[in-house]
Amino acid sequence: MRDFAKSLIAVEEKAHRASRTRPLAGFYVCEKLRPPLATLMGNAGFHALMSRALLLAQGEVPWLKSVRVNADGSFEGLAELDRQLGPQEIAEGRIVLLAQLLGLLVAFIGEDLTMRLTLEIWPSLVFEHTDLSRRPK
């Protein structure tokens, strides 16, 4: 799941070269997932799912405890962290959070459907040896 999350972040970084200077923009992936998932399950549904993913990710990356999920599923508290954390820490946080979100989706709706939803957002994405069956710890 981590690899899958990493590859999504890599694609998004490529599309937003400017984000290299602002590592927190890497949360773009979650932001991009938000509209189609909110259409599917409503803002409240997406908020609940993202909150759960955040809670699970906080176990691995403690600084994510400073991040909050708004009612519409967007993040709050990232701007402050941008100034306090190093690029490596932020990179790890976003990978873990995204991996947890994808893990939840796979647990609920299965690999195929998760992959399809993802491919709709990133149609040119090519996954190699992606095993989505293992959820992050």
Partner 1 sequence: MKKRAKKVQRNAQLKALRRPPNVTIHKLPTGVPGLDEILGGGISEFSFNIIAGTPGCGKTTMAQQVAFSNGTPKKPALYFTVLGEPVLKMLRYQQQFSFFDESKVGKAVRFVNLSELALDQSLNAVLEEIVRQVTTANAGVVVIDSFRTLAPKASSYVDAVEVQSFIHRLAQFLTSWEATAFLVGEYVEEEIRDNPLFTMVDGIFWLSQVSERNSVVRKLQVIKLRGQASVPGLHTMRIGAHGVEAFSRTLGLVATKTKPSNRKQMSTGIAELDKMLGGGIIEGDSVLVTGPSGTGKSALATQFIAEGLRRGEPGIRAIFEERPDGYTQRAGSFGLNLKAAEQKGMLETLYLRPLDLSVDETMQAILDAIKRVKAKRLVIDSLVGFEMALAPGYRADFRESLYRMIGALTGAGITIMSTVEVEDSFTSLQFSHYAISFLTDDIIRLRYVEIDGQLRKTLVVIKMRGGNHSKDIREYVITDKGVVVIHPRRTDYHGLSTGIPTRTGPRRAQEEETAPEPKATR
Looking at residue 59, its amino acid is G
From candidates 38, 69, 99, 132, binder to partner 1 by CB under 8 A: 38
Q: Residue 113 interacts with partner 1 (CB under 8 A)?
A: yes
DSSP 72: T
Q: How far is the CB of 88 from partner 1 (least distance, A)?
A: 33
From candidates 41, 85, 91, 125, binder to partner 1 by CB under 8 A: 41
Q: Residue 116 interacts with partner 1 (CB under 8 A)?
A: yes
Which two structure tokens, joined as six digits, stand for 91?
A: 């990179």
SS3 category, 69: strand
Q: Residue 10 interacts with partner 1 (CB under 8 A)?
A: no
- CA 117 vs. chain centroid, Å, equals 14
Are 9 and 29 spatial neighbours (Cβ–Cβ below 8 Å)?
yes
Binders of partner 1 in range 72-111 (CB under 8 A): 105, 108-110
From candidates 44, 65, 80, 84, binder to partner 1 by CB under 8 A: 44
Which two structure tokens, joined as six digits, stand for 78?
A: 């990232």
Q: How far is the CB of 73 from partner 1 (least distance, A)?
A: 11
| 3-state secondary structure labels for all residues of 15-58 | HCHHHHCCHHHHHHHHHHHHHHHHHHHHHHHHHHHHHHHHHHHH
Q: Site residues (CB under 8 A) for partner 1?
A: 36, 38-45, 49, 105, 108-110, 112-113, 116-117, 120
